[in-house]
Amino acid sequence: MNEPKLIAGNANKPLANSIARRLTLHRGKMVKPVDARVERFNDQEIFVEVYENVRGEDMYILQPTSNPANDNLMELLIIADALKRSSAARITAVMPYFGYARQDRRAKARTPISAKLVANLISESGIDRVLTMDLHATQIQGFFDIPVDNLYAAPIFALDMLHQFKGRLDEVMVVSPDVGGVARARELAKRIGAPLSIVDKRREKAGEISEMTVIGDVRGKACIIVDDICDTAGTLCKAAEVLIEAGATEVHSYITHGVLSGPAVERISNSVMKSLVITDSIQPTDAVSACPNIRIVPTAPMFAQAILNTWNGTSVSSLFDMETLAPIYDGLYPAE
């Protein structure tokens, strides 16, 4: 029986290597990313060459489409084309972070739905299925004409919160930084048995917030802001300030995808937030890794298990439960 084979683009090689190590642990035999080169010509055209035989193999391309989004997207499509033309049996795009997901509808006249365009490109490139995590809008799964498995960071975050806030969970309040993220925050609050609050924000234009209001009583609470993407961190830091002004004793944030562009790291360093927890779905920059109040939780155990479940035809949705994930993360969050 053929083993699942992993191939990595340049977007997040440390995560690809971590997933390969987890697959080695599960399979009891050495698993390494397929030997290949993904390079650029002088005019920045992307060139891919796979050095191993992949005929009839079940291939998994590890490539988040993070910054630079266009380069990483083209790498994914060209790797997929190389594998398809090399007679791979099945190609799965493992995209821990799905770029262009924020452009999922026409909010104004004469604007694109870029998420749908990217879904079309992926479907037409020869990719047979997509494995991703915390899509900005879950309905993006419907943009694809191929199967899409959307994993959730919530059970990992819940395990982390139960460990970090052990003994004082009664002080914790989960906060959604906007009305649109209430469902995500409610799901996490339910997992740890905490109440829910909302910060209502109003924007005059993109990237600028004119007003914020706290809905709910946060006095004396340790507030945990939950969201899927943190880009420039303006909204996050402003929300933390508003919560402290409303009487919160401390503010922490759990964000799935740490895009953290521009002044984000500096803002977080100078913020009233005690900590920001992100996943490694996007490869952290040196500045992010060096920031003392940013902590990174690994996703490799979950993605490795999802790849194995896809390969052997078992349930991927079983990974939505904390009970299933706890043994996978055993040692990182030991049972007390």
Mode of pairing for the β-strands spanning 196-205 and 208-215: antiparallel
232 is in an annotated binding site: yes
List 201, 221, 238, 274, catalytic entry:
201
26 is in an annotated binding site: no
Please state, in angstroms and rounded to a whole number, the distance separating the CA atoms of residues 282 and 256: 9
105 is in an annotated binding site: no
Among 167, 161, 151, 141, CA closest to 321: 151
235 is in an annotated binding site: yes
330 is in an annotated binding site: no
Give me the sheet containing 275-279, strands edge to edge: 208-215, 196-205, 172-176, 222-230, 250-258, 275-279, 294-297
Could you confirm whether 201 is annotated as catalytic?
Answer: yes
283 is in an annotated binding site: no
233 is in an annotated binding site: yes
Note whether 68 and 40 are within 8 A (CB): no
323 is in an annotated binding site: no
Q: How remote is the C-alpha of 49 from its chain's centroid?
A: 28
Bin 331: left if φ > 0, else alpha if -120 < ψ < 50, else beta. left
Which residues are part of a known binding site? 43-45, 102-103, 136, 178, 203, 227, 231-235
Which residues are part of a known binding site for ATP? 43-45, 102-103
Which residues are part of a known binding site for Mg(2+)? 136, 178
Which residues are part of a known binding site for D-ribose 5-phosphate? 203, 227, 231-235
Residues marked active site are found at: 201
